[in-house]
Structure 1
Amino acid sequence: MNEKKEKMMKFERIAEKRVSDVLKKMQLIGNLANKNNYEYTDKHVKQIIDSLENELKALKNKFAEGSTEKITEFKFKS
């Protein structure tokens, strides 16, 4: 097998695992919407969604342009 094919197989294997992990984590975040278990404000929701949308934009840019910007922590703003 040539090197290009091996790299593609490695990409596919790792991407499937990582994307599946993110989808599961997003579903867990979605569970936070249950008002029977949690109290939150619209401000909390906006900050969570804004943070996730910003990271998705950064991900799109990485594949489009090769950007390396990383934000690895989320904190609520006062």
Structure 2
Amino acid sequence: MARARENFVRLAEARTKRLLKDLDLLGNLSNKSNYSYSEEDVKAIFRAVSKKVQETELRFKMNIQSDHESDFRLPQ
């Protein structure tokens, strides 16, 4: 059982750090001098992020597995 805990801690820390770094990188896109985006783009991004966070939290609470991958696209 201790091995399973060690694996969980190791992977959870690495994946959480990667997720937080990716959120920082996403935040870098807010620089209007380098990027052009609409309020609808921002809403779509954060709806998708919020939905995935809620789904992931539910997976922990209900001990269920996800059966699909996320696909996110903004209109061109």
Indicate whether the TM-score tops 0.5: yes
Larger radius of gyration: 1
CA distance in 1, matches of 2:57, 2:75: 25
Counterpart of 2:16 in structure 1 is 19
1:44 equivalent in alignment to 2:29? no
Q: TM-score, normalised by structure 2?
A: 0.90
Question: Percent same amino acid at aligned positions?
Answer: 28
Deviation at 1:23, TM superposition (A): 0.5
Divergent runs of 4+, >3 A = none
Q: What are the superposed Cα offsets for residues 5-63 of structure 1, whole Å, 9 maximum, x if unpaired?
A: 11000100011101100110010000010001001000000000000000000011000
Q: Which runs of 5+ in 2 are unaligned?
A: none
Q: Which runs of 5+ in 1 are unaligned?
A: none
Deviation at 1:71, TM superposition (A): 3.5
